[in-house]
Each structure stands twice: as structure tokens, then as C-alpha cells.
A and B are shown apart, each in its own frame.
Chain A
């Protein structure tokens, strides 16, 4: 799993931004859709959107996702994991390290691990 994550992160282009704290990155980039608490109720979760943003606090939703899938979705957008294109790609905005930090942050929100964990 770690090897797969490492391979994925090699594909992330260097981010022009200096590294921010994971809390600030989540607040600035992710909470617009996923909400400040991660429950999916950000200001972009409007009535006519075709899908709802994922609820990161849901064990049912998050425990079926691998770490690689979370990282890939952040880096390349929802389309890369067969999910909605409404999830934009942040691979040119965030560094590989920042994306991994966000993955860990999201895991803390659900207090869960993915299916590959022992």
C-alpha cells in the first residue's frame, strides 16, 4: 500500500504554494464543499448539484475507501476514482506531502481506516 501511495505521489506536480498547515489547507480548499466539520454541508452543496459532497465523518462511507483512493481523488479529481467530476483535481495546487496530510486529516474525521489496514 505504501509503495502504491509513493508511486501516486510521484505523479503530483510540484505545488507553487508554500506548505500550509493541514487545518488551513482543509479549511481553504476542502471545506467549500465538504464543510468545516467534514459532514459534507459546505456552501457548494447546493440544491441542484447532481451529487452531495462526501461526508468524511461517516464510517460507512469512509471505511470502504483505501488511502490510495483518497489520495488519488484529491490529486486527480473525482473522475480518477470513478466518482463525480464535481470533485476537482488538486494535484497542481497541493504538494504530495500536503495531500497525504489531508488524507490523514480526513481519516481522523471518520476515526476509521481503509479496507487495506490490518
Chain B
């Protein structure tokens, strides 16, 4: 038998083995970039003093109203569960007030003076914040269509615009100022987090929003979450 004809296939096979074994041992270059980005993001977060206003570790309990009134800004330990990645990167470069009122204030309007980050810093910090998924969310909620039930729940059963700014179909901004604005919610918030926030109030810090569990059915909370997540 002429074994010389087998040389090339064998050589190719052995080369493939070498390459594959190398791939199995070496870390993914993408994972390395992510880890470096997270570390850089955390470093920027800490060097800018962001933790002075924003907690990134979940507290042991929901806390009391007094605890809440002592905090200086929204907690971020579930930022990665709450926000859309594209939103954070852009917002950190050009912050616009989400809350019309100063945090915890009922008399002072927001000053819109949140720190701005440079482009690279914003990307890094956004990556870091998106890694904070303290809220263990379940699979994305599936809502085939919101239909007319969404607005009914929002406008009547929940009366959500009582505390949250929204845009009417004719473009008018209406609603209350004590809660975070829902203008542009569809670009900012994840529907599954909204559902988690509404359906599991005990998992979050004490908040001034009424608890709707037991007032709305679970199916209604799903629809309401999808509706809010679609608000322009």
C-alpha cells in the first residue's frame, strides 16, 4: 500500500487536533475584554464617587421609610436587570433628569446636574452597571398584545399617571412629578423588570408607590408591565 497518499489528510487531522486543544485552554478574548471593561467601569464608578449616592450592594432588608429618606439617589444593585444597555451608555454621557423632583424631595425640582462621563468612561461604567443584576429575573414575560387593557390598567385601576409623567396620544406631557418619569420608558426599562418590581415589592427597598399585588391580578400586572415598557 502506498502510505504517502495519506500524509496530507493525516497532517491536516493532526493540525486540527493541535488547534482545537489550544482553543480549549486559552481564555476567550471576548471574555477577557468584558472582564477588563467591567474592572475599568467599576474603577471609574468608584473614582467618581458614584457610590456616595447609589448603592450597588443589595441591603439585607427592604428598610424603613427613614432609611429611604436618608438615601441620596436611586439604588443601582439591580441596574442590569432594570435598564436597557443602550440607554445607560447614552444617558451617562448626557444625563437628563428621570425624576422631575430632587430625590426624596417633595418641594425641590430636579436640578439636572448629574455628573457627565466621557464616552469611554460611559461605556465602561454602563458595562459595570449592567453586570449588577441583583434582581433575579425570570424568563422574559410573554405578552401577545396589550390591547385596550393596558391603558385601562394604567389610567384607571392603577392611576399610574397620578405620580408618573407620561405623554398622551396627542403628545401632551401629563401626570404627577413624585415618581420617576415614564417618558421614554420603552428606551429605558425592561418589561420583565417592571413586572418583577410590581409583583415582588418585598424584594425591593421600600417605595412610595402603592403595592398592587392583590389589587391587580398577576395577568393584569403582566399586561401593565408590557404597556409601561412600551411608553414613548
Binding site for B on A (CB under 8 A): 13, 16-18, 20, 24-25, 27-29, 31-33, 35-36, 42-44, 46, 48-49, 77, 84-93
A88 to B, closest residue via Cβ: B210
- Would B174 and A43 count as touching, CB distance under 8 A? no
- Would A49 and B65 count as touching, CB distance under 8 A? no
- Would B106 and A32 count as touching, CB distance under 8 A? yes
- Known contacts: A20-B64, A43-B177, A92-B213. The answer to whether A86 contacts B159 by CB under 8 A is yes
B contact residues, range = 20 to 34
The smallest beta-carbon distance between B163 and chain A, in angstroms, is 6
Total of A-B residue pairs, C-beta within 8 Å: 88
- Would A88 and B178 count as touching, CB distance under 8 A? no
C-beta contact mask, B132-175 vs A, less than 8 Å → 1, else 0?
Answer: 00000000000000000000000011110011000000001011
- Nearest first, the 4 closest Cβ-Cβ pairs linking A and B are A44-B176, A32-B178, A48-B174, A43-B177
B104 to A, closest residue via Cβ: A28
- Would B66 and A24 count as touching, CB distance under 8 A? yes
A78 to B, closest residue via Cβ: B159
A43-B178, A85-B159 given; 9 more Cβ-contact pairs under 8 Å: A16-B62, A16-B211, A20-B65, A32-B178, A44-B163, A87-B159, A88-B159, A89-B215, A92-B211
